[in-house]
Each structure stands twice: as structure tokens, then as C-alpha cells.
Amino acid sequence: MYAIVNIAGKQTKVEANKFVYAHRLAGNVGDTVELGKALLTDSDGTITIGSPLLDVAVTGTILAHVKGDKVLVFKKKRRKGYKKLNGHRQQFTKVMINSIG
């Protein structure tokens, strides 16, 4: 069984007993969080679509707060001697999905 859930503004496919990386969530490591209502569920080939939400709650446990890979932003203007390098690492939360429904 899997579900499509809106986590911090992004739609994410989640399955029970698997983990997912979401944008930084409030809470400490070990806390239980409710990820909201499901938009779509699939149970053994039976797909249920909400309009807009289903009455299926998804819960998970925060495993860790981590950083993503570094993204480099390089700006340059030719023949002017202008160069600028900037880096960014996005904050993520690793969440273990406990139950769907």
C-alpha cells in the first residue's frame, strides 16, 4: 500500500516502513509527526482518489535532520572580470513512515 501526501508543499509518495526525505520539519529526533491527509491511496491495485483529500492520516517518526548535496551557483559576465560563486545546502528531515490510514 502506498499513498501520495502533501508534505511541506510537495507531493510525496510514501509507503509504510520506509523512510522519506522531506523539507525541514519542526520537531526533535524521535518525535512522532502527522504528515497530513492523503491525496491518493493504492491498496492492492485499488486506487482511491480524494477530492481534494481522503480521510486517511499518515504518521511517521523523525529519524534525523540532515543536509542535502551542495548546489553551486556561478555567475559571470564575459569580458568584464565579474565572477561570483555561491553555494547552498538544503535542510532535510529523514522521516520513517509508521502507518498509512
Residue 49 C-alpha cell reads as: 482518489
Residue 19, Cβ density class (10 Å: 0-12 exposed, 13-18 middle, ≥19 buried): middle
pLDDT tens sequence across 19-55: 999 999 999 999 999 998 899 999 888 999 988 899 9
Q: How far apart are CA 38 and CA 3, in angstroms?
A: 6
pLDDT at 97 over 90: yes
**Which tops the pLDDT comparison, 94 or 9?**
94
pLDDT score of 15: 94
Name every residue whose Cβ is closer than 8 Å to that of residue 40 and which is 6 or more positions away in sequence: 3, 4, 47, 48, 49, 50, 54
Q: Global pTM? A: 0.81
For residue 34, CA distances in Å to 30, 73, 83, 89 come to 13, 35, 45, 26
Q: Are 15 and 1 in contact (CB under 8 A)?
A: yes
Q: Are 2 and 42 in contact (CB under 8 A)?
A: yes
Our separate counts of H helices and E strands in the chain read: 0, 7
